[in-house]
Structure 1
Amino acid sequence: MLRRFRRLGGPGNAVIATVTLFALCSGMWLLRDGTRAHSPPQPSAAQAHTGAGGHGAGRAAAPALPPSPPDRVRIPAIDVDAPLVGLGLTGTGSLDVPPAGRKNLAGWYEAGTTPGETGTAIIAGHVDNADGPAVFYSLGALRKGSTVEVDRRDGGVAEFTVHAVEVYDARDFPDEKVYGTAGRPELRVITCGGGYSRTTGYQGNVVVYAHLTGSR
């Protein structure tokens, strides 16, 4: 589940207006398989925010980069190496999703902040599809201090350090915390997680919080 966007606080920053269900969280593999044995990992309480503003992850924030669309995301700790496709909004105002049939594909909200510039950039991807685990299946296993690398179209690489990984039930999703404006370059990587229903799929989201700590 993600939310419908409305733009506030200047270019590239977005907060959420209303709840909209969409196919990212359908959990078709688990629906077909009929078992929780294959459930994706969920973050532990130890990976939640500590109030250190991100600096507790061990690396200080780096200066912002100029805007440049991203082409690829890599998260070495969980073996993610995937191309990125631009995502817009559907006719109902919800964030669109990458094609479910391409399990190693993620998307970024291309009307918002580009990863590396000041603000909150959004990357989202499926946790599974009808055939099994998808690109962000292991996102909930990520730990503080892990690296997220984003290849940019200008030829550079934005390097982010994870400072929190949290899971939320859809009813308690902290819109402003996840999608709100930021005074430094930040990144959210989002997939589905939390409880699971065979009727409606996943009941919440895993959210990785990261901040820019370098580039090359």
Structure 2
Amino acid sequence: MSQKGKGWLLAIAALAGIWLIRHGADTQLVPPQPTSAQAFAAGPVPQPGSPLAEPLKPSPPVRIRIPSIRVDAPMMRLGLDADGSLGVPPAGNDNIVGWYGDGTTPGAKGSAIVAGHVDDARGPSVFYALGTLQRGNEVEVVRRDGRTAVFSLDAIEVYESDDFPDERVYGASSYASLRLITCGGGFSKSTGYRGNVVAYAHLTAVR
């Protein structure tokens, strides 16, 4: 991997290491967590299901829909903050999802990184139910070019913060893939969420 690619991984990893772990609501209401039945089978590299759709040309996403958990939210571009960590969606908006704007756009070849809050001080946020997803569930991303990229879920896993697999989550992909990330792994009042829930999906159709 090039130095630029490594730098991108380190910068985007801050999303899990800084924001997603520490910005959950100060509450004991723990959101649903994925079961081991929805995880990838043992192996070094996550494998997508089939069929694979032909990747699209890059175009920014404008909306995301996950019918099985009733998500229907606008999307905003996220950049990096001065400290190299990823910017975050506004804390006061519980129904907005961010995507890493300097990375892959959803539907294009590569790993598109998408993140949403699990909750805030007022209660559940847009990705609260992410942990209930199951393999085969669909994720729809409406793009600025008018096309809708339809992804099929391959797996959903939960990681403790000290065992977060950066390369597995943020690494390059030879097909159009999507990574949905939020807080998870248990909650502590002193430190916030102890890990992250990550859903993996691949492009199966275009509308």
User: Is the CA contact 2:20–2:196 (under 8 Å) kept in the aligned structure 1?
Assistant: no
Structure 1 counterpart of 2:148, from 150, 153, 157: 157
Structure 2 counterpart of 1:22, from 8, 19, 22: 19
Structure 2 counterpart of 1:53, from 36, 44, 47: 47
- Which residue identity lines up with residue 205 of structure 1 in the other structure? N
CA distance in 2, matches of 1:212, 1:23: 25
User: Is the CA contact 1:16–1:176 (under 8 Å) kept in the aligned structure 2?
Assistant: no
Offset at residue 24 of structure 1 (A) = 6.4
1:135-150 correspondence runs (5 A): 135-150=126-141
Match of 1:89 in 2: 80
Distance 1:54 1:151, change over 3 A: same
RMSD across aligned positions (CA): 1.8
Offset at residue 151 of structure 1 (A) = 0.2
Distance 1:14 1:147, change over 3 A: farther
User: Is the CA contact 2:21–2:193 (under 8 Å) kept in the aligned structure 1?
Assistant: no
Match of 2:65 in 1: 74
Q: Which runs of no fewer than 5 residues in structure 2 stay unpaired? A: none
User: Is the CA contact 1:112–1:121 (under 8 Å) kept in the aligned structure 2?
Assistant: yes
Length-normalised TM-score, structure 1: 0.87
Distance 1:185 1:68, change over 3 A: same
CA distance in 2, matches of 1:26, 1:87: 16
Q: Which runs of no fewer than 5 residues in structure 1 stay unpaired? A: 1-5, 31-35
SS at match of 1:89: coil
Percentage of matched positions with identical amino acids: 53
User: Is the CA contact 1:26–1:200 (under 8 Å) kept in the aligned structure 2?
Assistant: no
CA distance in 2, matches of 1:21, 1:177: 18
Offset at residue 29 of structure 1 (A) = 4.5
CA distance in 1, matches of 2:48, 2:53: 12
CA distance in 2, matches of 1:25, 1:141: 22
Match of 1:107 in 2: 98
CA distance in 1, matches of 2:21, 2:89: 8
Match of 2:53 in 1: 62
Please say which of residues 46-55 and 201-210 is displaced more in the overlay.
Answer: 46-55
Length-normalised TM-score, structure 2: 0.91
Higher fraction of helix: 2
